Amino acid sequence: MFISGFGYILGETFKGLYRNRWMCITSTGVVAVTLLMLGLFMLVNLNVSHITETVKEQVEIVVYIDEDADQATLNQLRDKLGSHDQVSEVDYVSSDEHMSRLQRQLGGMLEGYDTNLENPLLASYEVRTVVPEAVVSLAEEFEEYPGVSAVFYGQGYVENLFALTNVVQVIGLGLMVGLSITAVFLISHTIRLTVMMRKREITIMKYVGATNWFIRWPFILEGLLMGFVGSIVPIAILYYVYEAVIEWAVMSELVFISLLPLEMVIIELAIYLVPLGTALGILGSTFSMGRFLRV
Amino acid sequence: MVEAKNMCMKYEKGKHNALENISFSIGRAEFVFFVGSSGAGKSTLLRLIIREVKPNEGTLKVFGRDVARLPRHRLPYLRRNIGMVFQDFRLMEERSVYDNVAFAMIVIGSSRKEIRRRVPHVLSLVGLKDKAKSKITDLSGGEQQRVGLARAIANRPAMIIADEPTGNLDQGTALDIMNLLRSINLRGTTVLVATHNREIVERFKKRVLYLDNGKLVGDEQKGIYTNVH
């Protein structure tokens, strides 16, 4: 017959899930689809920010030194750059170094160029900033320094990169919020139906003196289970999808795209999606219970 | 057990009072009928006692505590001391007789052992010992109300509140149910019955509180239904 207390609550949870199995499967499926979209976007977002971070780290300001500047001005310039609180690193690159880099980059194209002739390239300081976003304003500042002939930081390209990163983050946040609200709504709707089917039972429970928590627990556990399963399924799907994507990237020799490793991404997804799904399930069931407990 | 002082109750603002300036006192182990036509305020009074609703004015004390001031989380403990019996029985129809009675004990956290001992006992008190495994839908109306009674007394409440317990039953069956309520009362449980079954009230000769249009118009020991009407 019956088992009492905690056993009863667990029993009721599974009975409730079984009695409304189609509704539960439907709403678990909806949660899974919602979280799948969310996870898919997170996957893209994680990789986009990984790529942009990598690129950002390479962003630097090249300060070309005026040929005609005297040694004192140059020393002053070096000290000013080195002691600036926004600057993390300053490297001096001589005009000879520039030349050999150019030769490396262009390969054989410079062959025959007589290196004994006067080197037309300017010496420079390569400056790395503490925050990549500070590049634009710092570059403007450095241009005014005495002994500087020109400043280069990938004008235009850098601004676009930062703007893109921001847009991706804003869209991601918007999607997360929107999809989460949808999931709460759907779960609470499902639980509300199961609550309504058991309204008579709940009324009786109230009359014989059951506490609200005793009534609530089976429904909360139902929501929790639906949310949990609804988050595990998309993670499993995304695991195989991402595995395939990585394989494809390797096969296509898309070496210039540095994708994040599979395990790391899936763990990251699980850290977000499992608590989120479970919380959504609990939230959804709590939402739909409130009204029925005010007897 | 129950003490009302100048109690008023309105369901909505601006509407007329469902109960007006009601005062009475009910002691331990009393048997009291609340009589009056539909809408006189009988059910409202019972709903006030189990704190489904709160009085707008005056005070209502149940077991010596002002129910209006009872915090929400204490309500279950008030209700564990009151057994409710309803006109429409309010049973879980797809479950067995045993399960319906055991349910009341499970939700307040009784031990399995206690439930196994207590349920057959209360079922034999109401004469349903042999029907423990029957489904509610296989029972007659009178038998269903016996299950309702068994459930109400399962947790040994100090008071039974019955709202038209015989409203859906024929006269013979109604008398059986009332006799059961009387025997429960004889064991020391306070019993409050709202009814408009004149014959039963006259036959049992218990205390009667008359309600008419929200007002208490009579309170008589060994009352006769026809005294007022």
- Do residues A173 and A244 share a domain? yes
* pLDDT tens profile B125-135: 999 999 999 99
Q: Yes or no: say if A13 and A194 are a contact pair by the CB < 8 Å rule.
A: no
If you ran DSSP here, which 8-state letter would residue B126 be given? T
Do A287 and A167 share a structural domain?
Answer: yes
Q: Do A176 and A111 lie in a common domain?
A: no
Question: Residue B10: pLDDT band by 50, 70, 90 thresholds?
Answer: confident
- The mean pLDDT value for B199-225 works out to 87
pLDDT, tens digit (0-9, with 9 covering 90-100), for B42-82: 989 999 999 988 898 999 999 999 999 999 888 899 999 99
Within an 8 Å CB–CB cutoff, is residue A214 touching chain B?
Answer: yes
pLDDT of A233 strictly over 90: yes
- CA A111, A113, A114 angle in degrees (round to 5)? 130
Residue B213, number of CB atoms within 10 A of its CB: 15
CA distance B148 to B177: 10
CA angle, B130 as apex, B124 and B134 as ends, to 5°?
A: 115
Q: At residue A177, does pLDDT exceed 60?
A: yes
pLDDT grade for A80, boundaries at 50, 70 and 90: confident
Chain centroid offset of residue A37 CA: 14
Task: With cut-offs at 50, 70 and 90, classify the pLDDT of residue A185.
Answer: confident
B197 and B227 in contact (C-beta within 8 Å)? no
Give whichever of A68-77, A214-223, B18-27 has the largest mean pLDDT.
B18-27
Q: Which of A96-110, A172-186, B109-123 has the highest mean pLDDT?
A: B109-123
Determine contact, residues A129/A154, Cβ cutoff 8 Å.
no
> A67 or B132, which is more confident?
B132
- Inform me whether the C-beta atom of residue A250 falls under 8 Å from chain B C-beta atoms: no
Question: Is there a contact between A206 and B78 (Cβ–Cβ < 8 Å)?
Answer: no
Q: What is the pTM (predicted TM-score) of this model?
A: 0.68
> What is the per-residue pLDDT for A110?
62
Q: Identify whether residues A214 and A276 lie together within a single domain.
A: yes
Rounded Cα–Cα distance for residues A222 and A226 (Å): 6
Residue of chain A whose alpha carbon sits nearest to that of B109: A5
pLDDT higher than threshold 80 for residue A115: no
Best of A197, A207, A292 to mutate (most B CBs within 10 Å, chain B)? A207
**Which helix (H) or strand (E) segment is B82 a member of?**
strand B82-86
Q: What is the pLDDT of residues B170-190, one digit of tens each?
A: 999 999 999 999 999 999 999
A24, A138: one domain: no
Indicate if A200 and A282 belong to the same structural domain: yes
Q: What does the alpha-carbon distance between residue A124 and residue A149 come to, in Å, rounded to a whole number?
A: 10
Q: Which of B106, B119, B149 to mutate to test the interface with A (most CBs of A within 10 A)?
A: B106
Q: Answer whether B10's CB lies under 8 Å from B56's CB.
A: yes
Among the partner residues A3, A4, A207, nearest to B79 by beta-carbon distance: A207
Q: Is A207 in Cβ contact with B50 (below 8 Å)?
A: yes
Contacts of A214 in chain B (CB under 8 A): 107, 109
Residue (of A226, A200, A199, A170) closest to A289 by Cα position = A199
Nearest CB among B52, B81, B102 relative to A2 is that of: B102
Residue A234 reports pLDDT greater than 80: yes
Work out how many domains chain A is built from and give that number.
2
Of the residues A126, A153, A180, which one is the last residue of a structural domain? A153
Question: Which of A132, A153, A174 marks a domain boundary?
Answer: A153
A206 contacts in chain B (CB < 8 Å): 76, 79
Q: Which residues of A94-113 are buried (b: 16+ CB within 10 A; e: fewer)?
A: ebeebbeeeeeeeeeeeeee
Query: pLDDT grade, residue A154 (50/70/90)?
Result: confident
Does the predicted interface ipTM exceed a cut of 0.90? no
- Cα–Cα dist A15/B33, whole Å: 41
User: Who among A1, A215, A295 is closest to B52 (CB)?
Assistant: A295
Q: What span, in angstroms and rounded, lies between the C-alpha atoms of B178 and B191?
A: 10
pLDDT digits (tens, 9 = 90+) for B75-97: 899 999 999 999 999 998 888 99
pLDDT at A1 over 50: no
Question: Do residues A79 and A97 share a domain?
Answer: yes
Q: Are residues A91 and A104 in the same domain?
A: yes
**What is the extent of the structural domain holding A81?**
60-153
Q: Chain B residues within 8 A (CB-CB) of chain A?
A: 50, 52, 73, 76-81, 84, 90-92, 96, 98-99, 102-112, 115, 151, 155
Of the residues A100, A124, A153, which one is the last residue of a structural domain?
Answer: A153
Indicate if A112 and A217 belong to the same structural domain: no
A211 touches B: beta carbon within 8 Å: yes
The token pair at A96 is: 């000879």
| DSSP class per residue in A166-215 | HHHHHHHHHHHHHHHHHHHHHHHHHHHHHHHHTHHHHHHHHHTT--HHHH
First to last CA, chain B: 28
Give the residue among A193, A198, A177, A197 at the shortest CA–CA distance from A280: A177
Contact between A208 and B50 using a beta-carbon 8 Å cutoff: no
Identify whether residues A124 and A46 lie together within a single domain.
Answer: no
Do residue A209 and residue B107 have CB atoms under 8 angstroms apart?
A: yes
Based on the domain organization, do A136 and A14 belong to the same domain? no
Statement: residue B146 has pLDDT above 90? yes
- Indicate yes or no: CB of A4 within 8 angstroms of CB of B106: yes
pLDDT at B116: 94
The rounded percent of chain A whose pLDDT value lies above 90 is 7
CATH of the domain at A83: 3.30.70.3040
For residue A2, give how far its alpha carbon lies from the nearest alpha carbon of chain B (Å).
7
CB spacing of A210 vs B107 below 8 angstroms: yes
C-alpha to C-alpha distances, A68 to A123, A148, A149, A152, A272, nearest whole angstrom: 12, 10, 9, 19, 58
Report, as an integer, the average pLDDT of A239-258.
80
Q: Left if phi > 0, otherwise alpha if psi is -120 to 50, otherwise beta: which for B109?
A: left
- So what's the pLDDT on residue A2? 44
Is there a single domain that holds both residue A141 and residue A239? no
Distance linking the first and last C-alpha atoms of chain A: 28
CA dist B57 and B84 (Å) reads 25
CB contact (8 A) between residue B92 and residue A4 = no
Q: What's chain A's average pLDDT?
A: 80
